[in-house]
Amino acid sequence: MATRTARELTPAPPVLTARAVRRAFGPTTVLAGVDLDIAGGEVVALLGGSGSGKSTLLRILAGLDREATGETTVHGTAAVVFQEHRLLPWKRVAHNVALGLSGPDVAGRVDRALAEVGLADRQRAWPAELSGGQAQRVAVARALVRAPDLLLLDEPFGALDALTRLRMQGLLRRLRAEHGFAALLVTHDVEEALLLADRALVLDGGVIAEELPVPLGPTRTPDDPAFGALRRRLLDRLGVPTP
């Protein structure tokens, strides 16, 4: 709690700044000038209907889209977790996590990252031998082992079943509390956004149409009345009628 209040008093320097990001696919403009700042240690949820350009924006921020214009800067290191685990099927779990790592004690770092996602005993497994949730945890370990300042998450739990998704959300909260990384979480799940984020953004019409602080404590549940109010507001903004 102490670090949280300190962070709220003096805003941390940004880990990500993006200015006037534009992207068009042929005649269709998907992003029409997006401005975005993420402070150190801040978790920002990016919501939007399907086709609103959430994933496009994340890919641009991850440096995977060369045809976008505008300016994006990541201050520090970034790592990405995609909706699909994207593990290399021909590398065992430990080698997938270690992909592209250099420096001292790679094996030890891989060990610790896998232990943190609860898969210390699956080092020698092939990706095809893992369940969907396990594979996604390996993907999280692969991002985590790089000690990122910013984690870019593209609907990371979207392909998982409801129970596994809840467990993964808990895991991400725990890891965030331990490591203090900032994150941009692209999701279409309003509850997920409210459970994990400090701030929620709604992408609509190619721009950030709505920005909503999520002033809920570190132990949040959907039963909280404040949670319900925020949820209703976001759903309204996304055009989903709520009873």
Contacts of 177 (CB under 8 A, 6+ apart): 218
Q: Cβ 212 to other proteins, closest distance in Å?
A: 28
Distances (CA, A) of 51 to 20, 55, 198, 207: 19, 9, 24, 13
- Report which DSSP code applies to 105: -
Please report how close the Cβ of residue 33 comes to other proteins at its closest, in angstroms.
25
Cβ at position 27, least distance to other proteins in Å: 24
The Cα 173–Cα 169 span in angstroms is: 6
Residue entry with tokens 């924006």: 57
Between 82 and 181, whose beta carbon lies closer to other proteins?
82
Is residue 9 within a helix (H) or strand (E), and if so which, with residue range?
A: helix 2-9
The residues of the shown chain that bind other proteins, judged by CB under 8 A, are 62-64, 78-80, 82, 84, 86-91, 99-100, 125-129, 142, 146
Residues found in the chain: 243
> Residue 74 or residue 230: which is nearer to other proteins going by CB?
74
Which conformational region is residue 229 in: left (phi greater than 0), alpha (psi within -120 to 50 degrees), or beta?
alpha
Residue closer to other proteins, measured from CB, 34 or 97 = 97
* Count of C-beta atoms within a 10 Å radius of residue 226: 13
Nearer to other proteins, 31 or 153 (CB): 153
Taking the complex as a whole, the smallest distance from the CB of residue 159 to other proteins amounts, in Å, to: 13
Minimal distance, residue 194 CB to other proteins, in Å: 27
Residue 91 CB, shortest distance to other proteins, in Å, is 7
Residue 161 corresponds to which amino acid?
D
- State the number of CA atoms in the 13 A half-sphere of 86 facing the CB: 13
User: What φ, ψ does residue 27 adopt, rounded to 5°?
Assistant: -80, -10
Taking alpha carbons only, the member of 68, 81, 84, 103 closest to residue 206 is 68
**Least distance from other proteins to the Cβ atom of residue 154, Å:** 10
Nearer Cβ to other proteins, position 98 or 212?
98
Closer to other proteins by CB, 75 or 199: give it.
75
The single-letter code of the amino acid at 37 is D
Q: Which is nearer to other proteins, 128 or 162 (CB)?
A: 128
The count of other CB atoms within 10 Å of the CB of residue 106 is 14
